[in-house]
Amino acid sequence: MIWGVVILFTCLVLGFPIYLGLLAGGLYILVIAYHIPVDMVVIGLYDGVAKFTLLAVPYFLLAGALMENSSISRRLVDCTVPWLVRVRGGFPIAGIIANEIFGAISGSSAAATATIGRVMFPEITKTNGERFALGLLTSAGALAIIMPPSINMILFATATNVSIGALFLAGVVPAAILGGCLAVYIFLVSPRPDVSQRFDLKVAVHKTIQGLSALSFPIVILGGIYTGIFTPTEAGAFSAVYAFLLPAVLYRELGWKQIVSSIKDTTRLSAQIFILIASSTVFSQALTVARVPDMLVPLVGDLGQFWFLVILNLVLLIVGCFFDPTSAVLVLAPVVAPIANALGIDLLHLGIVFTINLAIGMFTPPFGLNLFVMQSIFKKRLEEIARAIPPFFGVFLVALVIITYFPQLYLWLPRIWLGHTGQ
């Protein structure tokens, strides 16, 4: 068994595709170490992806890609900024709010970073300096995978058999806590607003009305899920169609070219994610056959919840530095979930801890999609962006501690709304 893990790590270090490492390691354990017919791998490669709930992944990816090609972000920013012109740190705080709302539409952190970043970078640079703007926009994009809908939550829920809807609902308050922590930090370090800026109620209301079509999006999608109009998977399909109709029919800004490029982006991303889903299915089944979760439970069981969560956070933060959240969730969730279960940790709580840690991984160097996005849009060197990250990393860590150790702050929502009973 240990050799299977060694093979996986060797493949990862050598820069092989992650799925190849998972397959090689899984095949070694199943076929060579445990003499199981290789058919199990073939069947697993099909079965791992042929799941109705996983349809939500391409749906939400398509919705995100379509929105990226539209002016939805611009509209979201336009309707938050005018309300906050007299507030200390008003512009960056508006950026946080826009990120939260964008996150409530899209599950893609990189898309949030790219689109909100483009819109807000010049303005925040003017008020708070370039370094601050880089750090804020690179990190705040991560809110999109904490605020539902979220691809990582779908993958976590599918891997551990919890309800996607319940996990989505559990993510709302943590996203707000993170946004709150960021807003407080921004407020403390920002200069007073420019006296020439005046709050104009008329402009604010007018802009908000103009943005209503964009604001209606999260209400329709999330409202639809929680009033029982549709399941999360159906909401995904609805969301993709909505994200097409809004810019195509209402704003008239979506041409054939944008549509085709959105479709291409989605098939590419889906292909990247699903080959990982398939191969991590094989790998985690190999670990199950090798009885790894059963061996880990007594080892970690003596730790107790507190220290288990400390170690889990450290491991996930380190993993997040080097890997994309997709592979991390797919490989680690099936191994960690039985341990958490044995320790009496609600799987929704575990799912949120996973999501926040890996969201942080989106902007921690050396590997983080948000970093690459900022790098390519604003033509900055990675080191320059990396230097801007630490204070925001600190703010995220504070929020992470709160969210890890006070799950009652957010678990009440799925409990009351969906009667979620834990485990």
- Touching Na ion, residues 119-148 (CB under 5 A): 144, 147
**CA-to-CA distance for 87 and 110, rounded, in angstroms?**
28
CA 228 to chain CA mean position, Å: 24
Instruction: Give, as ranges, the residues between 340 and 379 that touch other proteins (CB under 8 A).
Output: 362, 366-367, 369, 372-373, 375-377
Q: Is 324 in the site for other proteins (CB under 8 A)?
A: yes
Stretch that binds other proteins, among 49-57, 130-138, 187-195, 389-397 (CB under 8 A): 49-57
116 binds Na ion (CB under 5 A): no
Q: Note whether 115 binds other proteins by CB under 8 A.
A: no
164 makes contact with Na ion (CB under 5 A): no
**Which partner from the list Na ion, other proteins, none does 306 bind, CB cut-off 5 to 8 Å by kind?**
none
Integer angstrom CA distances of residue 230 from 55, 62, 126, 224:
14, 18, 44, 6
With respect to other proteins, which residue has the nearer C-beta, 187 or 230? 230
Question: Judged by CB under 8 A, does residue 325 bind other proteins?
Answer: yes
Cα separation, 325 vs 336, in Å, equals 15
Taking CB under 8 A as the rule, does residue 33 contact other proteins?
Answer: no
Name the phi and psi angles at 23, rounded to 5: -65, -45
Residue 29 in contact with other proteins, rule: CB under 8 A: no
Do residues 399 and 181 make contact, with C-beta atoms less than 8 angstroms apart? Answer: yes
Query: Applying CB under 8 A, which part among 179-187, 205-213, 269-277, 296-304 lies near other proteins?
Result: 269-277
Are 290 and 34 in contact by the 8 Å Cβ rule? The answer is yes
- With CB under 8 A as the contact rule, the residue among 49, 183, 184, 310 that binds other proteins is 49
Helix (H, G, I), strand (E, B) or coil at 23: helix
In sequence order, what are the residues at sequence separation of 6 or more whose Cβ sits closer than 8 angstroms to the Cβ of residue 83?
A: 94, 199, 204, 208
Give the C-alpha separation, 141 to 145, whole Å: 8
Residue 204, exposed/middle/buried by CB under 10 A (0-12, 13-18, 19+)?
A: middle
State how far the Cα of 368 lies from the Cα of 135, in Å rounded to an integer.
13
Residue 373 contact among other proteins, Na ion, none, beta carbon within 5 to 8 Å by kind: other proteins
- Spell out a b/e string for 176-195, using b for 16 or more CB atoms within 10 Å of the CB, else e: bbbbebbbebbeeebeebee
Among 174, 224, 361, 407, binds Na ion (CB under 5 A): 361
**Residue 36 interacts with other proteins (CB under 8 A): yes or no:** yes
Indicate whether 364 belongs to the interface with Na ion (CB under 5 A): yes
* Start-to-end Cα distance in the chain: 29
Decide if residue 255 touches other proteins (CB under 8 A): no
146 belongs to the binding site for other proteins (CB under 8 A): no
Tokens matching residue 266: 């989605």
361 binds, among Na ion, other proteins, none (CB under 5 to 8 A by kind): Na ion
Footprint on residues 147-176 left by other proteins (CB under 8 A): 150-152, 157, 161-166
Among 195, 227, 257, 302, binds other proteins (CB under 8 A): 227
Pick the binder of other proteins from 16, 306, 307, 406 (CB under 8 A).
16
Binding partner of residue 364 among other proteins, Na ion, none, CB under 5 to 8 Å per kind? Na ion
Residue 106 contacts other proteins per CB under 8 A: no
Residue 127 CB, nearest approach to Na ion (Å): 27
Closest by CA to 86, choosing from 235, 187, 209, is 187
Candidate residues 118, 272, 310, 405; the one interacting with other proteins per rule CB under 8 A: 272
**Structure-block tokens of residue 312:** 């889990």
